[in-house]
Amino acid sequence: MKVQQNKPDRRISVAPMMGWTDRHDRYFLRLISPHALLYTVMITTGAIVFGKKLEVLEYSPEEHPIALQLGGSDPRDLAHCTKLAEQYGYDEVNLNCGCPSERVQNGKFGACLMAEPQLVAECIDAMKQEVSIPVTVKTRIGIDDRDSYQFLTDFIGPIAEKGCDTFIIHARKALLNGISPAENRSVPPLKWDVAYRLKQDFPQLTIVLNGGIKSIEDIQKSMEHVDGVMIGREAYQNPYFLADVEREIFGNKNVRSRHEVIEAMMPYIDRSLQNDADLKDITRHILGLYQGLPGARRWRQILSEEAYKPAANANVVREALKHVS
């Protein structure tokens, strides 16, 4: 499935969000935004190396530019999976050093890796030796009480020395005990200024800010200080926000309307259903498309109630479309 790779434009990306940014969602988001860099959900090296679940690497060619996010801490396993990613045509491989969930900690990857910068450096070195595509790191700004700026730079430094030149900074620390992953996305305070300072102190690095980006104004303000922003929940809950991003950031004058997005989605829905996908697994991602517009509630209601029925097909979406303007 190797295809021609595009060089990622890092000004705007959509965050890897577990349970959300699967291949159906990415296809949908790509119809709204031709330019944003899209990330897979985190895929563990164990699922690929030991589980032999290579189907998790599959995606639609239309999703490019697309980055694979890996979770793991064994340099050999990460190198193997990174090589597979290049063979599958991914435009980037990203190492997760920011997820705070207990399950991830038990697997010795995610945010707890911030305590082991030398190990992460070894992982990055092994990954980069296998491929020519970019290898990047997504991280927090600290963990628990180790949240000084010095701790962060002591983490970044050894990894950068191994040739990693792009860091996605979720500008909150991670609390590894006592709160849920969802709370970890809101309880620790946002500190965009820490990411800004990193860019000042490491001007040779590409620094992408993640966390709390909700408006064009947020993007424009942040990009005065960093190289790009990664949008998370706003891109999922209010996906047509990416149309504003296309117009204002990329200067795209030919953005699809909401209705045009759904019409373009229909052939994909038909193909997916023929390949044994369930309609509900696709339509759950498009519920927020008409957020704030007349008929949006009815749109969500029809999709939510009808898509779960055994014989549900694309006609459910066509019916829902009649109720929105």
Q: How far apart are CA 272 and CA 267, in angstroms?
A: 9
99 has catalytic annotation: yes
Cβ atoms of residues 3 and 89 within 8 Å: yes
Helices (H), the chain: 23-32, 45-49, 75-87, 102-106, 117-130, 149-161, 181-184, 192-201, 216-222, 233-237, 241-248, 258-274, 279-283, 296-306, 315-321
- Residue 153 class from Cβ within 10 Å (0-12 exposed, 13-18 middle, 19+ buried)? middle
* Beta partners for residue 209, in sequence order: 169, 229
Helix (H, G, I), strand (E, B) or coil at 67: strand
Considering the candidates 81, 97, 99, 123, report the single residue annotated as catalytic: 99
Cβ atoms of residues 253 and 315 within 8 Å: no
Q: Distance between alpha carbon 3 and the CA centroid of its chain, in Å?
A: 21
294: left (phi over 0), alpha (psi -120 to 50) or beta: beta
- The DSSP symbol for 107 reads T
Q: How far apart are CA 162 and CA 301, in angstroms?
A: 51
Q: How far apart are CA 123 and CA 229, in angstroms?
A: 25
Cβ atoms of residues 46 and 72 within 8 Å: yes
* Beta partners for residue 139, in sequence order: 97, 169
Would you please indicate which residues are annotated as catalytic (active-site) residues? 99
